[in-house]
Amino acid sequence: MPGPQPVDSAKVSLQEASRTTPLLRSSSGEVPDRIFTYLMTACGLAVLGMLVLIVYELIQGSGRSWHAFGFKFFADSNWDPVNEQFGALPFVFGTLISSLVALIIAVPLAVGTAVFTTEMCPRALRNPLSFFVELLAAIPSVIYGLWAIFVLVPLMRSYVQPFLGKTLGWTGLFTGPPYGIGMLTGSLILAVMVLPFVASISRDVFETVPPMLKESAYGMGCTTWEVVGNVVIPYTRIGVIGGMMLALGRALGETMAVTFVIGNAHKISASLIAPGTTISATIANEFTEAVGDLYTSSLIAIGLILFMITFVVLALARLMLMRLDVKAGK
């Protein structure tokens, strides 16, 4: 007769573990895991719920204005609270132009700062320089506004705007008296405010470039300029564009600093040194003084327009990043 079969100790231990693990999981881990899942779900739904409530309040509060003016509200440039005639075109124009000019000024400076920090800066200065760049993002907006009034506006009035008027006035972009305040001044202070966002994100993504790629390029005789332009920037373009879109969203909604120096003029001008205004600056200046339901509703309506502009910009940025990601995957 066959003797007793040998017992596989590993198989027995696995069987015992399979019998005991569900008991341990159900008794000690299942309830906390469910609670954790519910809490995280509640956090996600809370953010979505706040967004829905904000949109609902904007739509409800601006209903009287849309009923009175319809889509003409977008194209009309007349803003006359006395006669209750309102149009959003000057504010939309000022918001878009000031943000785009700020981005044109800030992005080259920010990317250059990130390149210097990651590729050329001495190691002893790298961390202090990065800290001071990030410190710019922590300065309150009102401090930027005060600095712009006492430092930037006199410089623009005495030197920059007269120089631009003499040299580039023929373009039509720098005509008019040099007040110091204006669209260009507002764009400059916006550029200073969004620069640390682009610089920090660009620096972080530049540091993700594999050292082997850069060392190989240097080994082939490439210069630093060629390595940055042909290796670093193409490898990290998705992150850099993401930082640019984040900065654009920040610039679109900035209020206090721009309100100090943009001039707050309800008109459209082709000159960048002429006074202008933005949606957020108009709301900050006039909401507490709004008399009448139609006036208040119109201010809420331009707030809704600002929300739609920001949503469209971020949606287009997301779409662009997805397309770049797909191309990079191919």
What does pTM read for this prediction?
A: 0.83
Q: Is the pLDDT reported for residue 316 higher than 50?
A: yes
pLDDT in tens, 194-214: 999 899 888 988 988 888 888
Domain span at residue 85 reads 66-329
Q: Is the pLDDT reported for residue 174 higher than 80?
A: yes
pLDDT in tens, 101-138: 999 999 999 999 999 998 888 888 888 888 888 888 88
Angstrom distance (rounded) from CA 293 to CA 168 = 45
Residue 113 lies in a domain: yes
Angstrom distance (rounded) from CA 49 to CA 59 = 15
Range with lowest mean pLDDT among 23-27, 173-177, 244-248, 289-293: 23-27
Q: Is the pLDDT reported for residue 46 higher than 90?
A: yes
Mean pLDDT for 163-186 is: 90
Angstrom distance (rounded) from CA 9 to CA 11 = 5
In this structure, what CATH number is given to the domain that contains residue 249?
A: 1.10.3720.10
Residue 200 lies in a domain: yes
Split into its structural domains, the chain has a count of: 1
Residue 115 lies in a domain: yes
pLDDT in tens, 221-233: 888 888 888 889 8
Q: Is the pLDDT reported for residue 242 higher than 90?
A: no
pLDDT in tens, 81-106: 888 889 899 999 999 999 999 999 99
Angstrom distance (rounded) from CA 288 to CA 258 = 18
* Helix, strand, coil percentages in the chain from 3-state DSSP, rounded to 5: 80, 0, 20
Check residue 292 and give its pLDDT. Answer: 83
Angstrom distance (rounded) from CA 98 to CA 95 = 6
Q: Is the pLDDT reported for residue 164 higher than 60?
A: yes
Residue 46 lies in a domain: no
Residue 49 lies in a domain: no
Check residue 50 and give its pLDDT. Answer: 93
pLDDT band at residue 43 under the 50/70/90 scheme = very high
Is the separation of the CB atoms in 184 and 275 below 8 Å?
no
Residue 54 lies in a domain: no
pLDDT in tens, 15-41: 554 554 444 444 556 888 889 899 999
Write the burial class of residue 173 (CB in 10 Å: 0-12 exposed, 13-18 middle, 19+ buried): middle
